[in-house]
Every structure is written in structure tokens, then in C-alpha cells.
Amino acid sequence: MNKVLIFDTTLRDGEQALKSSLSVREKLVIARALSKMKVDIIEAGFPVSSPGDFQSVSTIAESISDATICGLSRAVDKDIEVCAEAVNKAARPRIHTFIATSEIHASSKLRKSNDEILAMAIHAVKHARNLCGDVEFSCEDAGRTDPDLLCRVVEETIKAGAKTINIPDTVGYTVGYQFGDIIKNIFERVPNVDDAVISVHCHNDLGLGTANSVMAVLNGARQVECTVNGLGERAGNASLEEIVMILRTRKDIFNVETNINTKEISNTSRLVSHICGVPIQPNKAIVGANAFSHSSGIHQDGMLKNQSTYEIMTPESVGLDKNTLNLTSRSGRAVIQHRLANLGYEKDTYDMGKFYANFLALADKKGSVYDDDLEALMEIGSDVDESKYSLEYLNVSSGRGIIATSTVRVSDGDIILQEAATGDGPVDATYEAISRATGMVLEVVDYSLSGVTGGRDALGEVKLIVDYNGKRFHGHGSSTDIIEASAQAYINATNKVERNIKVEEVRKSKNK
Ligand SMILES: [Zn+2]
């Protein structure tokens, strides 16, 4: 069998690590995205843990038909019964029951002998099988379990009727080859191993969650438990997107496939990050903002000549439009020339030496340089005037039961423009008021607010992408007042649009 089943536990292991739990509706939104991405099994929650969790699992079971819907339960009759009740409306229900098998868990946590634990495991699997045709059994802390005992538990729980046996590295302690050997040992020593799918569930405490999971696949595991963006207890779980893209990109080594529609990876990752309130680090493999962006001048030059020089997988394969060549002071001339050609400026129409010097000056000042900056640089030279409008005054009233109202005063040179507006929240009201003052309505395509510093007096930074007549512009603003930061970002974007209008005029007059 060369199919690896993807078991997603974002809603169980991932959710239990969040600072606040997700609502039923939020979990359903994530479950739908997982189903669209074609994960094979969705672990929707731990039904006995709370009424909310029970309701989430049963709602997902009723609503999602493309994936197996699984609930977690301890090896306790009551847990298993509640779990069965939560998943039973699913088209394909599964009960996932577990008990710790390592010496340290058995003696300190459970205070049971090995024989007692084995008896409990067998009983739990049989009980679950009476309530559900598809039962998965996990040996918690398998990574630190005595190999003889582990083989015995695996053999007996398969006999008891478990169709999937999960071998978790619960504490993220094992190292690649060692975890691979644990799986290999099970295949060599458990006589009925072929009657079940061997699964793995690796944690990332030493940063090895993904590495250990793929070593297990190399040694025969055919189900991997993972989470979107690697969310999960402590340092998290093996990350779904990494597992899937490793198996796909290195098919030469693994020779296995998954059912995942990889083009849904980026969207799902963003959605999970947004709903869970956990940002993705920019350098995160596969889904980080920089995962496909090439900064070094040498790399950018290579990419333009042949994408494969620095690209092992395409951004399109994970659902991104195209990779981004991040234009900074490290970008070389060839890249700038390429970008300018895309904007319609052929290389014999300008002086590259002069342009490049201006570009570097701007890049040093701004960090990143976008298309509209390049155009402005091309048309109006190095002295880029970005600040037609500036915010002079802002007064916002908002709160529960109050219609958000914003009054702004914006200066345009010596002219003072003042307007007030209501809106759906203080930011919306402020944007409406600024639009009225400047007469320029921008469609906000993307809005993000992040704390630049920690603590309650944190400096908030707002980044915007706006659309004006089909063209996109960036805006940013920062302040200890987040509404003011939002207003500054909008005005910054408005100034860029104004500048672009000026650029267009200059270009037209040159063409005459
Ligand atoms: Zn876990």
C-alpha cells in the first residue's frame, strides 16, 4: 500500500493548546476547510471533556461527509460511550481510544502494572468496537515504552478489533532513526500487524515532529497524525503541510501518496491562523510569508534564469499565485530590470545605472519596494513625495450599544479637510470619514494589526492592502492607539494612490 492517510488533529490536539477554546461554529468552519483539502480523518475533539466539545464533535459529524470523523476518549467505558454518541451521526465515524504504556506514565500517572494496562486496552477496544465499526487505539508515550510491551499491546489490541494502531511520540523525545526503528520493530515482531494501519503522532518539543513522522513512513507507517501550521500541545505537533509536501516533493525517496489537494494548503493555513489567533512565523516552511520569497540578489538572479535553481517546489502547488521576489536593497539589477519590464519599461528606455542608485536609496529608507514605488521612481525621480495628506485630528466614539462615529481632520498642504461618518465599528467609520475628506474611496483588501512591542502599552502596527481602480497599494501606520494606527495606514495608502495618479499623468504627458 503506497497511500499515506492524513489524520488531522488541529481541532483536538491543536485546539487544546489554544489560550481560549474555539466555538462550535469556528470549529465547523475549520472542519469544512479540512474536508475541502481532502484530509482522510478529522479528529474533531474529545467529547467527554466538555459539553462544548461534545457539541462540536457531533455538529461536525452531522455536517461533514467526505472525511472520517473521529473523537478521542480515554480507555474508560463512560468516555467511550460519550464519544460514540458524539460521532455516530457521521457518514464514517471513528472512536480513538488511548492509554499510556510507558513505564513512567504507568507507574506515576496510572499506578497500574503492565498486565493491568494491557487488560484495560483490550477491554476499551472491544467496548468501542461494540459501538463503532472503526476503532483506533493509541499507546500514549509509545516513544518511551519498552519495545516488548509495545509489541504485545499492539498485537492484542489488533486482535481485540482496532483497525488503526497509533504510535505517538507524545513528549517529542525520540530522534529520527530511533523512531523509525520503533516502527520497524513493530512490523518485524507483531504477527498480525497487517490487519491494521500503523499510525504515528509526533510532537515537536525538539523540533523533530515532522522528521520523526516521515522516518516512520519510511518504515511502514501509513497514517500520520498532524495539525495545520503545526499547532498543538507545547511546541506543537508535526505540521500537516510539511508532511504532505515532503512526501510529494521527495516521492523519489518515499514513493507514497496522500489524498491531499495541496492547492488548498495556503488557504487552510491562513484560515486556521486567523480563527485560532496564532500568527504564522514568516520563515515557517511551506506556509510562512517568506517561504517562497527570494531576497538575496544572487538567488533572485538565478530564479529569473531558471526557477529550479532555488525552488524545489512551486508556490502554485500549495495554492499561492506566484512566488515573490522581495525587492530590497539586496536585490540585483537583473531583477529590477525584469520587474520594470513587467511594468512596461523596456531596458533601452531608461538609464539603469541612475535608476539603480535611486532604487537603493529608496530601499534603504523603506525596506521593501513595491511596484508602485518603482513606477514613481521611474516617472518622478528619486525625490518621491508620498505625503499629500496628513492626519491632523481624530475623534472616535464607539462601544457597546453606540453607533461608531468618527470625526477626522486631514490636511492637504494648507487646506484643512474635515468630515465625520458612522460605520460598522470605529475603523470602518474612520475610513469612511477619511474617504469623504479626500474624495478617494479605497477598497480595503487586506487589513492586519500586530503588536510591535509587548505589554498593554504596545505599539500597534497596521498593514493594509487596498484596491483602487484594479491596482493594489500598500499602506502602513503605527501608534499606541490602534484606531490611529489604522487611520495612518489608510492615509498612507491614499497618498500612494495619489502619487500613482501623478505618475500616470507624467507618463501620459511624456507619451504625447
Ligand atoms: Zn498529541
Q: How far apart (Å, rounded) are the C-alpha atoms in residues 77 and 127?
A: 7
* 190 contacts 153 by C-beta, under 8 angstroms: no
Quick one: which H or E segment has residue 324? strand 324-325
Strand partners, 393: 409
Who's near 59: CB < 8 A, 6+ residues apart?
Answer: 24, 27, 28
How many angstroms does the Cα of residue 470 sit away from the middle of ligand 1? 46
Residue among 8, 12, 5 nearest 228 (CA):
8
Instruction: Report pLDDT digits (tens) over 39-55.
Output: 999 999 999 999 999 99
What does the longest C-alpha to C-alpha distance in the chain come to? 91
- The CATH-assigned architecture of domain 5-276 is Alpha-Beta Barrel (3.20)
The CA distance from 258 to 268, in Å, is 17
How remote is the CA of residue 263 from the centroid of ligand 1, in Å? 26
When mean pLDDT is compared across 142-151, 283-292, 365-374, the lowest value belongs to 365-374
Burial class of residue 325, CB neighbours in 10 A (0-12, 13-18, 19+): buried
| Residue 323 pLDDT class (50, 70, 90 cuts) | low
Mean pLDDT in residue range 260-268: 94
Whole-number Å distance, alpha carbon 148 to ligand 1 midpoint, is 23
Find where cell 471533556 sits.
Answer: 49
Beta bridge partners of 408: 394, 419
Query: What is the distance in A from the centroid of ligand 1 to the CA of 264?
Result: 24
How many Å lie between the centroid of ligand 1 and the Cα of residue 232?
7
| Domain segments of the chain as ranges | 5-276, 293-380, 389-511
Q: How many residues does the chain have?
A: 512
Ligand 1 centre from 94 Cα, in Å?
Answer: 17
What's the pTM value of the predicted model, to 2 decimals? 0.75
Phi first, then psi, for residue 164 (nearest 5°) are -130, 135
- Tell me how far apart the alpha carbons of residues 478 and 119 are, in angstroms, rounded to a whole number: 61
Cell output for 380: 518622478
pLDDT tens string 459-503: 788 888 898 988 888 888 888 899 999 999 999 999 989 888 888
Cell numbers representing residue 376 in the block: 514613481
Domains 5-276 and 389-511 share a fold: no
Q: What is the pLDDT of residues 86-143, one digit of tens each?
A: 999 999 999 999 999 988 888 887 788 899 999 999 999 999 999 999 999 999 998 8
The CATH architecture that domain 389-511 belongs to is 2-Layer Sandwich (3.30)
> Of all residues in the chain, what percent carry a pLDDT higher than 70?
97
- Residue 190 CA to ligand 1 center (angstroms) comes to 24
